[in-house]
Amino acid sequence: MKFEKGHFTKAVDSISQASESFAAGQSLASKLKKDDLKGVFILSDGLNANGSELIRGFNSIIDTKQIITSGCLAGDSGDFKRTWLINERRTSSGIIIALGFYGDVICAQGSKGGWDQFGIERRISKSEGNIVFEIDDKPALDLYEEYLGEKSKELPASGLLFPMQIRSEKNYNQPLIRTLLGIDRIKKSLTFAGDMPLGRVVQLMKANFERLVQGAADAANVMNSMMIKKIKDQNNTSDIVTIVVSCVGRRLVLGQRTDEELEAIQNESKFASNMIGIYSYGELASYEPGAECELHNQSMTIFTITEAA
């Protein structure tokens, strides 16, 4: 990307374990915070970082209700072995890169899911950060394997097909989806891409092809409404860059139908030109315009950037 009126700054931080995520988020935000900041895109290691804590640390420095913030956790196609980013023409694990966009720049985003709930609602009865040990006072792994049946033999990869919805009783209408990243058969625990607080209500989810594709279209519509309010010349879309982030779980479920979610974005949005994309282990975005940036899993997230006319 080249800028005529705007410019961008890159901030980089290292991370070796999930407990460092909050501090890393604060560090990155402190490096980027300036008066003319218009948008941020974050790229993170996908296995060492706790995405919830990362964006919580970032939010403590930068108001993401005002500054459009998006991004993702890197994935490795469901292998869960090593994720990496490219920095200074070198591949590196254990790093987080944040790009801050400044000046006469317009940013917009949209994010939606499209999974169906199944089974009864349960409650997390023992957890620590992003690790769940017990659900309804039963070993979390045993309960999860009971639901998955034969698919449990393929864990943790098969966990991408059965994410977990989490919500608090106070915020019932805005649930988050969490992707399984790993299991511990000795401790009978499940490790997720984001925080799983004690006492939260959880429910398993499964794929619905049509709803996944519709979720992509819905994300495009959210982005549309934001761009329409900001961009003056709506006929000039050649200089808009669209970064599409889809969870690797969606890729595995949709298979040969993967193109349909990209076609849905293109059909719904005149701003979805110059598309590039990433399959991730977690997506960073606001649930709705004006909301704070959060970690989502199994979602379709769209981030657009252009310069003011």
More confident residue, 271 or 35: 35
Nearest partner of 198 among 134, 105, 265, judged by Cα: 134
Q: What is the DSSP code (8-state) at residue 89?
A: T
Supply the pLDDT for residue 172. Answer: 60
> Under a CB-based contact definition with an 8 Å cutoff, are residues 181 and 281 in contact?
yes
> Under a CB-based contact definition with an 8 Å cutoff, are residues 59 and 5 in contact?
no
pLDDT tens-digit series, residues 117-171: 888 999 999 999 889 999 999 999 999 999 888 888 888 888 888 889 998 665 6
**HSE-up of 59 (CA within 13 Å, CB side)?**
17
Map 142-192 to HEC letters.
Answer: HHHHHHHHHHHHHCCHHHHHCCEEEECCCCCCCCEEECEEEEECCCCEEEE
Looking at the predicted structure, is the pLDDT value of residue 264 above 70?
yes
Separation of alpha carbons 282 and 299, rounded Å = 8
Separation of alpha carbons 3 and 105, rounded Å = 9
Cα torsion through 237, 263, 300, 291, rounded to 10: 40
Supply the pLDDT for residue 233. Answer: 61
* Strongest mean pLDDT among 62-71, 198-207, 255-264: 62-71
Torsion sign, CA atoms 251, 254, 258, 260? negative
Separation of alpha carbons 162 and 118, rounded Å = 10
Q: What angle do CA 227, 228, 230 make, to 5 degrees?
A: 65
Pairing of strands 68-74, 37-44: parallel
pLDDT tens-digit series, residues 21-49: 999 999 999 999 999 999 999 999 998 89
> Under a CB-based contact definition with an 8 Å cutoff, are residues 224 and 216 in contact?
no
Supply the pLDDT for residue 2. Answer: 86
More confident residue, 104 or 1: 104
Write down the domain spans for the chain. Answer: 7-113+209-307, 118-206
DSSP result, 83-149: --EEETTEEESSEEEEEEEESSEEEEEEEE--PEEEEEEEEEEEEETTEEEEETTEEHHHHHHHHHG
pTM beyond 0.75:
yes
- What average pLDDT does the structure give for the chain? 89
pLDDT tens-digit series, residues 278-299: 999 999 999 888 889 999 888 8
Supply the pLDDT for residue 272. Answer: 73
Supply the pLDDT for residue 36. Answer: 93
* Strongest mean pLDDT among 2-16, 148-162, 232-246, 258-272: 2-16
pLDDT tens-digit series, residues 46-100: 988 999 899 999 999 999 999 999 999 999 987 888 999 999 999 999 999 999 9
Supply the pLDDT for residue 179. Answer: 84
Q: Look up tokens 């891409």; give the residue.
A: 193
Q: How far is CA 242 from CA 41, 159, 278, 298, in A?
A: 12, 29, 11, 19
Three-state DSSP class for residue 199: coil
Supply the pLDDT for residue 80. Answer: 84
Q: What is the mean pLDDT of residues 88-113?
A: 93
> Under a CB-based contact definition with an 8 Å cutoff, are residues 301 and 265 in contact?
no
Residue 81 corresponds to which tokens in the numbers above? 């072995």
Nearest partner of 301 among 215, 211, 199, judged by Cα: 215
> Under a CB-based contact definition with an 8 Å cutoff, are residues 40 and 101 in contact?
yes
pLDDT tens-digit series, residues 224-244: 888 888 877 666 666 889 999
CB atoms under 10 Å from CB of 116, counted, come to 13
> Under a CB-based contact definition with an 8 Å cutoff, are residues 191 and 81 in contact?
no
Looking at the predicted structure, is the pLDDT value of residue 254 above 90?
no
